[in-house]
Amino acid sequence: MKYINFNNAGSSKPLNVVNKEINSFLEIEKNYGGYYAVLKYKEKINCFYKNLSKLINCKNKEISFLTSTTLAWNLFFNSLKIDKNQNILIFENEYGSNLIYYKNKRHNIKIVNIKKNGKVCFEDLKKKINKNTKVVSLCHVASQCGNRIEAEKIFNYVKELFPEVICVLDACQSIGQIEVDVKKINCDVLVGSGRKYLRGPRGTGFIYMNDKIRKKINPMILDMKNAEIIGDKIKINKSNIFENFEFSPSLQLGFSKAIEKVNKYGINKIEQNIISKSKYFRKKLENFNQITFFENIDTLTGINTLRIKGINSVQIYTYLLSKKILCSITRPSSSLLYFQKIKVKDLLRISFHQYNSYDDINYLVKCLIDLIKKKAII
Ligand SMILES: Cc1ncc(COP(=O)(O)O)c(C=O)c1O
C-alpha cells in the first residue's frame, strides 16, 4: 500500500507527466549538453510564461521563474526602497518567514486584525492605513489556517483610499487550488510555489510584477541576464526582471507542464472538487465533539486544521503515519502572529487535493475515529 498524501499544503504529488517531462529533458541535456539543449528547446521552455500568464491573467514579461516563494518575496522586498517614515500593512495570518524579514529589516509594520470568523476587519484596516503606507502585504490562504481571505475586496478598498500603495499577494497556498486572477484581485505583485497546489516539482516558484512596479524596481541581484553595461551606465532588462543566468530548465519544463494541466482541467473545477472534499471530511466528523476545527466553513479551502481533546498533535500525526497517512503539524514558526492569537501550541493540518479519493478520506476518518475510541478506553 502506498502512502496517502494529505500534506498537499506542504508538497503535493507531482503529476506523472511532470516527472516525465523533467526526466526526458535531463536525457536531452545528456545528449546535447546543458547549453545547447536550452537553445534547441527554447520555444518549449518559453511556454512556461504562456501557461502561467494564462492562469493568472497577465503578460509573459511580468513573470520571473524562481526557485521558491520565499526567494521571490525576498527579491521583491529587498529591491524596493522603503523609507524610515513609511510603513507596511500586514495581517494576522502573515507567514512566519515574511515576519522574520520585516523584523530583521526593522521595518515599521502595522498588523491588521483578522476576526474570529476568518475575515479581515475592515475597520481596523481603515484605522491603520495612511499616506505613509508603502505596501499592503496579504496572505491569500495561510499555511496554518485554510480560510480564504477576500483579497479582491481588500486590495480594491486599499487602492480606493491610496492608489499608490503597492498591493502584494502571497499566493503560495492559493495558486492551483482557487482562482487567482491578478487583474480581478487588483494586486501589483504576486508570489507562489510550484510544489503545492500546482503539483509542480520541488524547487520551483515565481513572481508576478505588473509593469508599473517593474519600472520602479532595481533588482537586488543583477547579472548578465537581467542587466548590461552600456558606457558607464547599467541598463536593466525589465522583462522577467528577477531572473538570473543560471536556472534549471528541466524543473521549469516540469513546472510548465503542471500549470498547463491546471489550465486544461480548469481552476474552477479543481476549486469545487477540493472544497467539496474538505466539507465531506468535516461532515463525517461533525458528531465528534472532541474535535475542534479552526477554519470557518464558509471560507473553506483544501486546508483543514484541527485539535483533538486529550490527544496531542504529535500522537495523532504518529498514529496516522503508522497507517500510511501523511499529514503535517503546523507550529508558531509558520505564523507567530496567528498562534499568539489562538493560544495553542500546534495544530494538525490535513490538506486535500483533487487527486485524493473519497475512499482515502473515508480511511482517514476511520483512523481518526479509531484513535479517539482507543484513547477513550485507555
Ligand atoms: C503562505 C506561505 N507563504 C510562503 C511560503 C514559503 O514558500 P516556499 O517554501 O516555497 O518558499 C509558504 C510555504 O509553505 C506558505 O505556506
**CA 245 to chain centroid:** 25
Question: Which amino acid would we find at residue 1?
Answer: M
pLDDT > 70 fraction of the chain, expressed in percent and rounded: 99
Quick one: 180 and 261 in the same domain? Answer: yes
Of 225, 248, 265, the residue at which a domain comes to its end is 265
Residue with the nearest Cα to atom 7 of ligand 1? Answer: 69
Report DSSP state, residue 30: H
Angle at 124 between CA 122 and CA 125, to 5 degrees: 60
- Give the per-residue pLDDT at 168: 98
Q: How far is the CA of 14 from the centre of ligand 1 (A)?
A: 17
Mean pLDDT over each residue of the chain, to the nearest integer: 97
pLDDT at 92 over 70: yes
What value does the mean pLDDT take over residues 155-165? 98
- Ligand 1, residue 193: give the atom nearest the CA: 10
Quick one: 240 and 296 in the same domain? Answer: no
Q: How far is the CA of 222 from the centre of ligand 1 (A)?
A: 24
Give the Cα separation of 368 and 316 in Å (integer).
8
Quick one: 182 and 272 in the same domain? Answer: no
Q: How far is the CA of 371 from the centre of ligand 1 (A)?
A: 31
As to burial, measured by CB atoms within 10 angstroms (0-12 exposed, 13-18 middle, 19+ buried), residue 90 is buried
- Ligand 1, residue 139: give the atom nearest the CA: 1
- Give the per-residue pLDDT at 375: 83
Angle at 12 between CA 98 and CA 169, to 5 degrees: 30
Ligand 1 pocket test, candidate residues 73, 75, 102, 172, most atoms within 8 A of CB = 172
Report DSSP state, residue 83: -
Residue with the nearest Cα to atom 16 of ligand 1? Answer: 143
Quick one: 148 and 291 in the same domain? Answer: no
What value does the mean pLDDT take over residues 58-63? 98
**Residue 266's pLDDT band (cuts 50, 70, 90):** very high
- Give the per-residue pLDDT at 129: 98
Q: How far is the CA of 172 from the centre of ligand 1 (A)?
A: 5
How confident is the model over 308-329, as pLDDT tens digits?
A: 999 999 999 999 999 999 999 9
Quick one: 244 and 256 in the same domain? Answer: yes
Give the closest residue to 286 by CA, choosing from 314, 311, 306: 306
Q: How far is the CA of 27 from the centre of ligand 1 (A)?
A: 31
Quick one: 216 and 311 in the same domain? Answer: no
Quick one: 350 and 256 in the same domain? Answer: no
- Give the per-residue pLDDT at 353: 98
- Ligand 1, residue 70: give the atom nearest the CA: 11
How confident is the model over 209-220, as pLDDT tens digits?
A: 999 999 999 999
Q: Find out whether 7 and 364 touch, Cβ atoms under 8 Å.
A: no
pLDDT > 90 fraction of the chain, expressed in percent and rounded: 98
Q: How do strand 227-230 and strand 233-236 relate by DSSP bridges? A: antiparallel
Ligand 1 pocket test, candidate residues 65, 66, 70, 331, most atoms within 8 A of CB = 70
What value does the mean pLDDT take over residues 167-187? 98
Q: Find out whether 231 and 47 touch, Cβ atoms under 8 Å.
A: no
Q: How far is the CA of 170 from the centre of ligand 1 (A)?
A: 8
- Ligand 1, residue 205: give the atom nearest the CA: 10
If residue 136 lies in a helix (H) or strand (E), which one and from where to where? Answer: strand 133-139
Of 206, 230, 265, the residue at which a domain comes to its end is 265
Domain tally, the chain: 2
Sign of the CA dihedral running 251, 351, 154, 185: positive
**Residue 164's pLDDT band (cuts 50, 70, 90):** very high
Quick one: 124 and 216 in the same domain? Answer: yes
If residue 325 lies in a helix (H) or strand (E), which one and from where to where? Answer: strand 325-326
Of 244, 265, 286, the residue at which a domain comes to its end is 265
- Tell me, yes or no, if the pTM score tops 0.85: yes
How confident is the model over 3-21, as pLDDT tens digits?
A: 999 999 999 999 999 999 9
pLDDT at 346 over 70: yes
Q: How far is the CA of 331 from the centre of ligand 1 (A)?
A: 14
Q: Find cell 479582491 and name the residue.
A: 152
Q: Find cell 500546534 and name the residue.
A: 346
Ligand 1 pocket test, candidate residues 92, 173, 349, most atoms within 8 A of CB = 173
Quick one: 344 and 277 in the same domain? Answer: yes
Q: What is the CATH number of the domain that holds 371?
A: 3.90.1150.10
How confident is the model over 247-265, as pLDDT tens digits?
A: 999 999 999 999 999 999 9
Quick one: 250 and 284 in the same domain? Answer: no
Q: What is the CATH number of the domain that holds 78?
A: 3.40.640.10
Q: How far is the CA of 70 from the centre of ligand 1 (A)?
A: 6
What value does the mean pLDDT take over residues 62-89? 97
- Give the per-residue pLDDT at 376: 75
Q: How far is the CA of 206 from the centre of ligand 1 (A)?
A: 12
pLDDT at 1 over 60: yes
- Give the per-residue pLDDT at 378: 54
Quick one: 206 and 293 in the same domain? Answer: no
Quick one: 248 and 126 in the same domain? Answer: yes
**Residue 377's pLDDT band (cuts 50, 70, 90):** low
List residues near ligand 1 (CB under 6 A).
68-70, 95, 139, 142-143, 170, 172-173, 193, 205
Boundaries of domain holding 174: 16-265
Q: How far is the CA of 224 from the centre of ligand 1 (A)?
A: 29
